[in-house]
């Protein structure tokens, strides 16, 4: 008979052990010592990251406000009513845009270039929206566009400086990885933070071990397990018994490179390839391709012609290499590229014909 509560002593197959206390240990539940436990810095990473994100927002607001104040001080000796009104409108728009574009994400707390780029893009969008709004209402004459432009330039500079300062502190505190990730490798006893049996796997019947794992992983955003294949079922039970984000490394799948895990008739299956692009995605991609080609051809065409002439003069062969490929909707198409190999270097099967001297 199985217990329905979340924690409880269970045997190796997951069945409840009748008549055993929650703190009882079976004979094979020998544990390695836990040692000193987790570094408090790791368990507090999520809270620290949120604090740094709030600091980014605060410094962004200060940076923009100081820029507008400085611009007005140069001409009016103080912040004018018009600039104050602009600032009041721009700041909320800036905060919302930057937040939606991951400007306060985990990466932004440690990557200064990423954070600066997101903040400046968000501010320029907010400033541009404000200008369009002012022109639409025909109120642009009420404020100096020169001073507004100076304020925009100063704001971008201040945002870059403040972001660099905050992310430098963030990287010092959080390290290169802003996430709280716990790796449990049962093959490396030095990295173990969860009690294991002598065989290196968790004991499902040990309630105390499950409780300790839950306490250790409580503030973790990901718990990753590296274990032997025969121990995965036990680790999977331990992960599912607790309210944590648990993953198990399956190295055998590396060669298949699956994209995701799906279910077919209640059984797991590996997703190895994706469906074709949707109509909206195809139209967007086509428009992007045509735009890039239209912009690139004037600059690239002279270079292509010179390279083709050089290839033709070098060995008198064709300048371009043509080959059949499988493309959209699994249809054949012919690729064109500047030839970089000798003639007849590719066989009928598409493979490169190898010779001792590729020049002769």
**CA 63 vs CA 158, 161, 162: distances in Å:** 5, 9, 7
pLDDT band, residue 185 (cuts 50/70/90): confident
Residue 211 has pLDDT above 70, yes or no: yes
Q: 3-class SS at 263? A: strand
pLDDT for residue 121 is more than 70: yes
Contact 323, 351 (CB under 8 A): no
Select the highest-mean-pLDDT range: 9-18, 197-206, 222-231, 341-350. 222-231
Check pLDDT > 80 for residue 31. no
pLDDT, mean of residues 100-114: 93
CB 332 within 8 A of CB 351: no
**If pLDDT is split at 50, 70 and 90, which confidence band does 165 have?**
very high
- 325 CB neighbour count, 10 Å cutoff: 10
Strand partners, 323: 335
Q: Are 270 and 261 in contact (CB under 8 A)?
A: yes
> pLDDT higher for 86 or 32?
86
Distance (Å, whole) CA 17 – CA 10: 5
**At residue 80, does pLDDT exceed 90?**
no
Q: Determine what percent of the chain is predicted with pLDDT higher than 70.
A: 73
* pLDDT at position 199: 38
Going by the DSSP 8-state scheme, the letter that residue 143 receives in this structure is: S
Least confident span in 49-53, 86-90, 125-129, 199-203: 199-203
The pLDDT > 90 percentage for the chain reads 24
* 247 vs 81 pLDDT, higher one: 247
| Best mean pLDDT range from 36-40, 66-70, 164-168, 181-185 | 164-168
User: Average of pLDDT values for 329-345?
Assistant: 78
> Does residue 324 contact residue 332 with C-beta atoms inside 8 Å?
yes
Can you tell me the mean pLDDT for 128-154? 74
Q: What is the pLDDT of residue 76?
A: 67
Rounded mean pLDDT of the chain? 76
pLDDT reported for residue 75: 72
* pLDDT category of residue 191 using cuts at 50, 70 and 90: very low
pTM exceeds cut of 0.75: no
* Neighbouring-strand partners of residue 246: 223
Give the lowest-confidence range in 46-50, 56-60, 207-211, 299-303: 207-211
């Amino acid at each position: 008979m199985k217990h329905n509560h979340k924690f409880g002593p269970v045997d190796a197959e997951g069945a409840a052990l009748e008549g055993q206390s929650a703190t009882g240990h079976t004979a094979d539940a020998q544990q390695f010592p836990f040692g000193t436990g987790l570094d408090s810095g790791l368990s507090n990473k999520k809270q620290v990251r949120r604090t740094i994100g709030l600091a980014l927002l605060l410094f962004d607001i200060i940076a923009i406000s100081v820029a507008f104040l400085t611009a007005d001080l140069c001409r009016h000796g103080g912040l004018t009513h018009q600039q104050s009104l602009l600032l009041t409108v721009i700041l909320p728009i800036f905060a919302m845009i930057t937040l939606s574009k991951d400007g306060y994400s985990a990466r932004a707390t440690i990557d200064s270039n990423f954070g600066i780029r997101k903040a400046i893009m968000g501010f320029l969008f907010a400033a541009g929206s404000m200008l369009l709004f002012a022109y639409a209402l025909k109120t642009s004459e009420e404020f100096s566009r020169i001073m507004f432009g100076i304020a925009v330039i100063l704001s971008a500079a201040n945002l870059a400086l403040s972001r660099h300062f905050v992310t430098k502190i963030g990287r010092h505190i959080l390290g290169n990885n802003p996430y709280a990730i716990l790796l449990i490798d049962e093959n490396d006893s030095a990295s173990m933070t969860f009690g294991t049996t002598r065989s290196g796997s968790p004991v499902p019947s040990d309630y105390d071990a499950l409780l300790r794992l839950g306490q250790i992983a409580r503030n973790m955003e990901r718990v990753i397990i590296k274990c032997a294949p025969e121990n995965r079922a036990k680790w999977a039970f331990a992960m599912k018994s607790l309210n944590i984000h648990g993953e198990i490394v399956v190295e055998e799948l590396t060669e298949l490179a699956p994209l995701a895990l799906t279910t077919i008739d209640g059984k797991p299956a590996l997703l190895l390839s994706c469906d074709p692009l949707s109509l909206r995605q195809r139209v967007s991609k086509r428009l992007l391709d045509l735009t890039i080609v239209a912009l690139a051809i004037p600059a690239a065409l002279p270079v292509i012609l010179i390279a083709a002439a050089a290839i033709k003069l070098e060995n008198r062969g064709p300048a371009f290499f043509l080959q059949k490929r499988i493309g959209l909707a699994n249809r054949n198409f012919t690729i064109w590229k500047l030839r970089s190999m000798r003639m007849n270097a590719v066989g009928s099967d598409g493979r490169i014909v190898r010779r001792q001297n590729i020049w002769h």
